[in-house]
Amino acid sequence: MARRLIRRFLPDVEKIRKHKHLRFLGDRLLEPNLWHLNRQSVPKGVALGLFMAFMPIPLQTIPAAIVALYIGANLPITLVLVWMTNPLTMAPTVYLCYWVGATILRTTPQAIDFEVSFYWVGEQFLRVWEPFLVGSFVVATTLAVTGYYGMRWLWHWHVLRDWEKRRARRHGTHGNKRRRT
């Protein structure tokens, strides 16, 4: 099951609670939904991680972690998904958001010579900021809503499948469906 695989990579909650830089959070870090894989916290973590990944703010991980603490989203899943957008994926992400925003605002997309530098932000970003911000919000919201409901559906499907397997084992069918005549 995917839950067992994911659990192997989760950090030890007690070590995190005792970490000297995180002590100020106190018992907030012991909130069960932050660490347990359950049907409430995982979809929230997926939605929050996808939303924050496409928000054009610096150090997205920090606000994502703070929001996860307050809404009870699974923290590791949130943080992993925030890092979907990273230095390697930044250029295509920026262009996707810009293109979506330009399409929504019905402006002609311009060629963007994207680079991670203060010069680019000062010179080039001023040309494309409006479609980029609109596109970022639309892409982030769309992915967050899709991720949330997709994960709820996937969780529900997985539970139903496990119930069917258990029922089949109890009745000795071993996965074979009985035909009724």
Q: What pLDDT does residue 50 have?
A: 94
Supply φ then ψ for residue 180, to 5 degrees.
-100, 135
Q: Please give the Cα distance from 94 to 140 (Å, whole number).
A: 12
Query: Can you tell me the mean pLDDT for 54-66?
Result: 87
* Alpha helices (H) in the chain, listed in sequence order: 2-9, 13-18, 32-35, 41-53, 61-71, 75-82, 90-105, 118-123, 125-171
Residue 5 has pLDDT above 80, yes or no: no
- Asked if the model's pLDDT at residue 143 lies above 90, the reply is yes
Lowest mean pLDDT: which of 20-34, 52-66, 125-139? 20-34
Residue 22 pLDDT > 60: no
Q: How far apart are CA 96 and CA 46, in angstroms?
A: 20
pLDDT tens, residue by residue, 96-137: 999 999 999 998 877 766 666 777 667 777 777 888 899 999
Report pTM: 0.72
Q: What is the pLDDT of residue 179?
A: 52
